[in-house]
Structure 1
Amino acid sequence: MAANERMNESAEAPSLSPEEAGEDPAIMDRYAGSNHGGGGYNAVGGMGAWPGPPMDGGMRAPANPSVHSMAHGSAITMAALAPVPQARPVPLFQPPYAFVVPRKRINSLADIERFHQSEAGKTFLGFIVGLSDSVKGMRLSDYCRESPLIMSIVGILGRMSEWVDEIPPRQQPARYGNLAFRDWQARLENQGPNLVRQILPDHLTDAVIELFPYFQDSFGNATRIDFGTGHEVNFAAFLICLARLGLIKQDDYQAVVLRVFVQYLDLMRKLQTTYWLEPAGSHGVWGLDDYHFLPFIFGSAQLVDHKYMKPKSIHNQDILDHFSKEYLYLGCIEFVKKVKKGPLAEHSPMIDDISGVPSWTKVNGGMLKMFKAEVLEKVPIMQHFLFGSLIPW
């Protein structure tokens, strides 16, 4: 369907308040989205191909043949054929503890392979899958158990958000890379260890030396004034370290996503749009998002088996208006449309193409495979990943 036809259909949808819309079947039938054709992921650009099942049953050729040479064909095929990653329990770290300052270890593809064959690598990916599985069918406003630890982390992230208000952007000619972000990062370096110490029980306060480097590197780079999926991975690493210490348990997973990660995402979007952080290693127009990957995983899980909203529903503006604060995936689309100008198909063709996948289950599975292939298996991203006693090398 052409872009103007989609716009016309969206315009015909009812303009209702969230309370009026709810998810009533009669209303959602009209909200179900346009008949966007879409298709499987095209193998374009350095990002590679959508590893989920295309609608015509086979891997599609590139939409633009001129960029075919940029795509790593064998890696793409392997990602597409790979099984969907499965959840794994996080093993508890056993005393006696010997916490260390974590350091970088990955420098080559061989190191990447070693990491993914290790228990640490399998546990890390399995933790992400476990978080994703825990929020299937849930709204952000749904009840979930919030432990004191969860509430403490949310409170800390909220306090860090207040720092942004206290450290306004500087007046400078360049829009991107506002130097005030370095002041915000300096405050994080100064106050961050105590913030992390606040969430630890007395017998684990020594763990700050190992936990804080993960936490510090979760919010971008002060030198380059940028942020990307590698920093997001470090936040996930911080969370899995807390799980290894027994502070985050499996029945906390829903709150980790619906409360902690949502607060983290809100903070990062505030940092990005206040200080206009450069995208770290962005895939540009061929990427899902210039900064984030995990909210697409968790957000697609939320929508699995939804009765009325389908992947193509992202083209209906009324759906985005009414439900972007309930579903992370829709919130991602809304945010991308806010910070980028023009039709979605032009500035975010990968997102646009995914909308043609028939079910959220397939979208979620493809996202997990893509996260492994395009984030956790990329040396430029994982060369910054840290290893210590909690995530051993």
Structure 2
Amino acid sequence: MSTPKFPIKETQLLPDQHEFIVPKKCIKVPTDITVWQKSEAYFEYLGFILALNEAVQGKTLDTECVQSPILTNVIQMLNKFDEWITEIPPTEQPQRFGNKSFRTWHEKLQQNAAEELKRVLPEKLHRAIPEIVQYLDESFGNPTRIDYGTGHEMAFLMFLCCMFKIGAFKEDDKVAVAIKVFNRYLELVRRLQLTYRMEPAGSHGVWSLDDYQFIPFIWGSAQLIGHPRIEPRHFVDQGVVESYSKKYMFLGCIEFISKVKIGPFAEHSNQLWNVSAVSTWSKVNSGLIKMYKAEVLAKFPVIQHVFFGSLLPLIPMNNPSTNPKTRLNESAAASQ
């Protein structure tokens, strides 16, 4: 089945009577993955990733672009979350990983996220908050394990996808959502990872290219398509990384890896080292999208944590539309 383009059009906005619901986890056993891969949620999410992938081609992180008031509000919200890290310093403790102060930070997030979204969104969209806040709460790591991985990254992307679906973000916001909002999120989660010594989720980053992220490599390689000077082989060149890390997401990721890991790059980041041998950025980009579908979107340990609601429902892609609450309950019942 081909992936439809993510429709970000005024005509796609939800009707006034749309019933929002608190999303639930519905993927209970590994065989449920096939239900997910044929679902509306899967195609909406993947279509969203591909739409923004296309939008950022050739764009640098400092590209001047339209920033709507709601988009600016989201960045200010992320700035506030960042300030909380300063207010909640890591505690002195013997173990190397998993600083317990992250639990305090995360508790503050859960207590305040809904209120923060009221400041972000116009009043007419406040009724969507009980549904979308679930994705925001899941976006920054697990407070029990004090870890972070591609499932948390995916939750934030689903939050952004839902912001388009409720009409908070518009068609013109696509570029800014990727290079301004998502990049600000990356800065924030990197600070969380370093400050609270967060472990990679899963088996030491097995679901990702590096220990924590995947999407900035996809959108970051799209940014570099057609670049007159920088080829894939150059991203292992420290001089190129230092010169361009503030302009391209991909190189920003490489810079971060180089800060937190020691030893030869080919040893600590073997998969990325292999990517540097690919001839063009367009081939890197298409290869990473295939890899993301296989190594993240098809993996039960990641997808079992995904939440499904009225905006991203676990129903067959071409199913006749029925009440979303009924559909979600049916999906949950079927997977038990």
* TM-score (norm. length: structure 2): 0.89
Letter in 2 for 1:128: I
CA deviation string 1:147-176 (max 9, x = no partner): 001100000000110110110000011121
Task: Report the equivalent of 1:94.
Answer: 15
Corresponding position: 1:163 with 2:84: yes
Cα deviation per residue 1:281-332 (whole Å; 9 max; x = unaligned)?
1455895111101110110000001111100001211101110110010111
Is residue 192 from structure 1 mapped to residue 113 from structure 2 by the alignment? Answer: yes
Counting only pairs closer than 5 Å after superposition, residues 123-202 of structure 1 correspond to structure 2 as 123-202=44-123
Q: Deviations over 1:126-150 (max 9, x none)?
A: 1001111111001101111000011
Cα deviation, residue 111, structure 1: 2.2
Q: Do residues 363 (structure 1) and 284 (structure 2) align?
A: yes
- What are the superposed Cα offsets for residues 335-360 of structure 1, whole Å, 9 maximum, x if unpaired? 11110100110001100000000000
CA distance 1:304–1:379, shift in 2 (3 Å): same
Aligned residue for 2:296, secondary structure, equals: helix
Cα distance, 1:124 vs structure 2: 0.9
Q: Which amino acid aligns with 2:7?
A: P
Structure 1 residues 243 and 286: alpha-carbon distance in aligned structure 2, compared to 1, 3 A threshold: closer
Q: CA deviation at 1:237?
A: 0.7
Residue 65 of structure 1 is matched in structure 2 by none
Residues 286 and 349 in structure 1, CA contact (< 8 A), matched pair in contact too: no
C-alpha distance in 1 between matches for 2:45 and 2:63: 26
Q: Is the CA contact (8 Å cut-off) linking 2:61 and 2:247 kept in structure 1? A: yes
Please name the residue that 2:330 is paired with. none
Correspondence for 2:303 among 377, 382, 391: 382
What is the distance in 1 between the residues matched to 2:151 and 2:284?
Answer: 22
The DSSP-based 3-state class of the residue aligned with 1:211 is helix
Does residue 249 in structure 1 map to residue 198 in structure 2?
no
The sequence identity of aligned pairs, in percent, is: 46
Closer/same/farther in 2, CA of residues 86 and 347 from structure 1, 3 Å limit: farther
1:224 is the counterpart of 2:150: no
Question: Which whole-Å CA distance do the structure 2 matches of 1:230 and 1:120 have between them?
Answer: 15
Structure 2 alignment gaps of length 5 or more: 315-336
Q: Structure 1: how far apart are the matches of 2:16 and 2:37?
A: 25
Q: Find the counterpart in structure 1 of residue 266 from structure 2.
A: 345
Instruction: Give the whole-Å Cα distance in 2 for the aligned partners of 1:210 and 1:204.
Output: 11
The yes-or-no answer on 1:354 pairing with 2:272 is no
Match of 1:78 in 2: none
What whole-Å deviation, never above 9, does each CA across 1:345-376 have from its counterpart, x for those lacking one? 00011000000000000100111111111111
Alignment of 1:200-211 (within 5 A): 200-211=121-132
Match of 2:241 among 317, 320, 338: 320
Partner residue in 1 for 2:325: none
Equivalent-residue separation in structure 2 for 1:286 and 1:240 (angstroms): 21
Within the candidate set 203, 206, 229, 1:308 is matched to 229
Match of 2:133 in 1: 212
Q: Deviations over 1:267-293 (max 9, x none)?
A: 000000000111111455895111101
Compute the RMSD of aligned alpha carbons.
Answer: 1.6
How many angstroms apart in 2 are the aligned matches of 1:311 and 1:318? 14
CA contact 2:207–2:295 (8 Å) conserved in 1: no
For the 8 Å contact 2:57–2:224, the answer to whether it is kept is: yes
Structure 1 residue runs of 5 or longer lacking an equivalent are 1-81
Give the Å deviation of 1:94. 2.7
The answer (yes or no) to whether the contact 1:302–1:327 under 8 Å persists in 2 is yes
SS at match of 2:75: helix
State the one-letter code of the partner of 2:5.
A
Distance 1:284 1:389 in 2: 31
- Closer/same/farther in 2, CA of residues 375 and 146 from structure 1, 3 Å limit: same
Deviations 1:42-94 (A, max 9, x none): xxxxxxxxxxxxxxxxxxxxxxxxxxxxxxxxxxxxxxxx98x6633254333
How far apart, CA to CA, are the structure 1 residues paired with 2:39 and 2:28?
16
- Matched-pair contact (CA < 8 Å) for 2:235–2:251: yes
In structure 2, C-alpha distance between the alignment counterparts of 1:104 and 1:340, rounded to whole Å: 34
Pick from 13, 19, 24 the counterpart of residue 103 of structure 1: 24
Residue-pair matches, total: 311
Task: Indicate yes or no: 2:190 matched with 1:272.
Answer: no
CA distance in 2, matches of 1:130, 1:249: 13
Provide the rounded CA distance (Å) in 2 between the counterparts of 1:347 and 1:301: 24
